[in-house]
Amino acid sequence: MTYLLSRAAPLAPLVKGQISQRWPTWRSRLRRALVIGLSVAAILPFASVKAQDKPVLVVGDQAFNAQSLFEASGVLRDAPYTIAWKQFPAGTPVIEAVNAGALDIGLQGDGPVLFLAAQGAPIKVIGIYRDSPDSVVLLAGPHTQIKTVEDLKGKTVAITRGGWSQQLVQAALTSAGLPLDAVKYSYLASVDSAAALQAGKVDATATWEPYVSRLRQAGARTVVTARGLIAAQSYLSTTQKVIDTKRELLGDFVQRYQRARDWSLADARHIDRYADVWAAKSRVDPKLAHQWFSTSRVRYEPLTDAAIAEAQKSVDDFVKTGTLTKGFDVKGLFDTSFNKFTQAAR
């Protein structure tokens, strides 16, 4: 996982307290950097496709995940546009780039989107994809005797603030009848949480693939998975401005993304192909990639009332735990009109 470690390291400073204190400054600086850097980069693909008169859709991806899926499945072969892929180490900079106008559409977990929307950003969610709940896991270090959620009392747990890891730990504590302050929290980025557990600096962490497979290989034990506890949703996000100018392209992209996800789940050999493409791009052990994709089994879902209700619950829970200072009605965040594109693909 050398590649992922090197790309994710800049997120380490986002620890407890700093998000609320430094968020406006950090967001402003990141936005300026993304507008300059990505806007320039986004121009480059136009030179090669200008002669073909194809429009370009600029897509924010994380560590080649979606790009590898599209290439492995071949769903872009007859696309009436070209995709300019932009790679990021995590979801927060993806949605910031979308909001800054440097991306047409981005793929990221729900937390960063909900946080930005809570501050009034004019972003829109036009599709949902979901990992298997068994791929989002609360793990105990091999240096501990922790086997159950109750065993976490008084222990130090590493989580990513506002992400699936925080949602899972707090849902697990509540389900076990424990108060949220029954554990000590260490707020770290996902890659740093994994490193801290391996080094014995924390007793447990909640994380997702591919970190789960890597930590299990190092002796970490499963305490509980996300099954029955949290939704583990991710979003296809854009802005109203892009919807107004590129609705049909966005709709076609969402439809092809659904087809690619359906393809990956239709045959075990497809998962293998997907994993091989991703491993080659990421310079990661193919065995780890195969384990990750076989476990996560990501699927696309339409924007249903149930999915939107799950998002509202996440926001409400963030407010209860003090992660967000105020809540909001999430209905305006979701544009369900894009369901017609994915329904047509089935």
Give 25-49 as a DSSP string: HHHHHHHHHHHHHHHHHHHHHHHHH
CA 293 to chain centre: 15
* pLDDT value of residue 178: 96
C-beta neighbour count of 19 within 10 angstroms: 17
Residue with tokens 């424990």: 178
- Numbers of helices and strands, H then E, in the chain: 13, 11
Q: Which carries the bigger pLDDT value, residue 47 or residue 6?
A: 47
Per-residue pLDDT tens digits for 269-286:
999 999 999 999 988 888
Res 278: pLDDT: 93
- Structure-block tokens of residue 21: 């204190």
The pLDDT value recorded for residue 12 is 32
User: When comparing pLDDT for 267 and 164, which is higher?
Assistant: 267
Query: What pLDDT does 344 receive?
Result: 60
pLDDT of residue 173: 95
**Residue 306 to residue 104: CA distance in whole angstroms:** 26
Quick one: pLDDT band at residue 346, thresholds 50, 70, 90? low
Q: Which residues are registered as beta bridge partners of 222?
A: 139
d(CA 122, CA 274): 34
- Which one is predicted more confidently, 50 or 262? 262
Lowest mean pLDDT among 74-83, 161-170, 332-341: 161-170
Percent of the chain predicted with pLDDT > 90: 64
Among candidate residues 179, 173, 181, the one with its CA nearest the CA of residue 148 = 173
pTM over 0.85, yes/no: no
CATH of region 136-225: 3.40.190.10
Give 34's pLDDT tier (boundaries 50, 70, 90).
very low
Cα torsion 133, 135, 137, 142: sign: positive
Whole-number pLDDT of residue 232: 86
Burial of residue 181 (number of CB atoms within 10 Å: 0-12, 13-18, 19+):
exposed
Q: Among 110, 156, 146, 148, which residue's Cα sits nearest to residue 16?
A: 156
Q: How far apart are CA 311 and CA 329, in angstroms?
A: 10
What is the average per-residue pLDDT within 330-334? 96
Contacts of 19 (CB under 8 A, 6+ apart): 161, 162
Sheet hosting strand 299-301, strand order edge to edge:
82-88, 56-62, 105-109, 233-239, 123-130, 299-301
pLDDT of residue 21: 39
Are the CB atoms for 261 and 129 separated by under 8 Å? yes
- The encoded tokens of residue 322 equal 């003090």
Average the pLDDT over 19-46 and give the result: 42
Query: In the chain, what are the domain boundaries?
Result: 56-131+233-341, 136-225
56-131+233-341 and 136-225 agree in CATH topology: yes
The answer to whether the beta carbons of residues 214 and 1 sit under 8 Å apart is yes
Which comes out higher in pLDDT, residue 214 or 97? 97
Taking the domain 56-131+233-341, which CATH number applies? 3.40.190.10
**pLDDT by residue (tens digit) across 173-218?**
999 999 999 999 999 988 899 999 999 999 999 998 888 988 998 9
Asked if residue 9 has pLDDT above 50, the reply is no
Contact, 293 vs 12, CB < 8 A? no
Q: What is the pLDDT of residue 52?
A: 60
Q: What is the pLDDT of residue 182?
A: 97
Average pLDDT, the chain: 85
